[in-house]
């Protein structure tokens, strides 16, 4: 039986990637737990010459891109226009 983190690695290895909410739904745990797991997975997969690629969140109002974020959690408000209509980050695992 696979651990939750192994399941996350398997899900993120698929080509299209997943959002935090999708991962939470597929693993039946809260988003906060998935975010913590992703931080651990990020460190673990380094040894297999892999990394987590993040397609950044984008404001749906002004197209501001949240690139360069070190946080795993999704942003809640745009710093430019203060809109809360933010497309979620998408995570996937790729070879380095």
**CA dist., res. 40 & res. 38, Å (int):** 5
Domain positions in the chain are: 4-95
pTM of structure = 0.87
The pLDDT averaged over each successive group of 10 residues in the chain (96 residues) is: 91 91 96 94 92 95 92 92 96 91
Considering only the C-alpha atoms of the chain, give the largest distance between any 2 of them, rounded to a whole number of Å.
46
Q: What are phi and psi of 94, to 5 degrees?
A: -130, 160
Kindly state the tokens that stand for 88. Answer: 């979620």
Is CATH 1.10.10 what the domain over 4-95 is classified as, yes or no?
Answer: yes
């Amino acid at each position: 039986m696979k651990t939750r983190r192994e399941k996350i690695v398997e899900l993120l290895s698929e080509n299209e990637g997943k959002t935090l909410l999708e991962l939470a739904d597929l693993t039946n745990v809260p988003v906060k737990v998935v975010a913590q797991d992703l931080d651990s997975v990020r460190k673990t997969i380094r040894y297999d010459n892999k990394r987590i690629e993040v397609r950044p969140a984008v404001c749906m109002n002004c197209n501001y891109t949240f690139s360069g974020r070190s946080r795993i959690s999704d942003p809640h408000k745009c710093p430019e226009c203060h809109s809360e209509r933010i497309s979620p980050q998408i995570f996937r695992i790729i070879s380095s």
